Amino acid sequence: GAVVSQHPSWVICKSGTSVKIECRSLDFQATTMFWYRQFPKQSLMLMATSNEGSKATYEQGVEKDKFLINHASLTLSTLTVTSAHPEDSSFYICSAPPPRGNQPQHFGDGTRLSIL
């Protein structure tokens, strides 16, 4: 079964609204989680690293004020797309490494965000 749960799986909203996406590790604690963005027929691009108890680390070119990340607990990270616009429409995917080191990350099923 899934070990990383992402919610919602699909959201459609009007331009200007803010959208929150949740990423939960279901049976393990994750001090670090990763957020990716995938454009249609494109690769996944790492947006930011979410760190429990501290600020997220953003990749170059990613607006931290646009994409707010909160890692409130050892099992939950949230990505909030603030004042979303049509160009923010994309597929957002989170991942979390298992607690035992040097093991592949677990990915969520992704959230398809459509801004009208």
The sign of the torsion formed by the CA atoms of 92, 97, 98, 99 equals negative
Could you tell me the smallest distance in angstroms from the CB atom of residue 97 to another protein? 4
When the beta carbons of 18 and 29 are compared against another protein, the nearer one is 29
Question: Which position among 12, 16, 26, 46 is part of the footprint of another protein (CB under 8 A)?
Answer: 46
- Report the alpha-carbon distance of residue 15 to residue 29 in Å, rounded: 35
Does residue number 104 form part of the binding site for another protein (CB under 8 A)?
yes
Which residues is 49 bridged to in the sheet?
Answer: 34, 57
Beta strands in 29-83 (DSSP E): 32-38, 44-51, 57-58, 67-73, 76-81
Contact set for another protein, span 2-41 (CB under 8 A): 6, 31-32, 34, 36, 41
When the beta carbons of 78 and 95 are compared against another protein, the nearer one is 95
Peptide bond between residue 40 and the one before it cis (omega within 30 degrees of 0): no
Interface with another protein by CB under 8 A: which residues?
A: 6, 31-32, 34, 36, 41-46, 49, 93, 95, 97-98, 101-105, 107-110
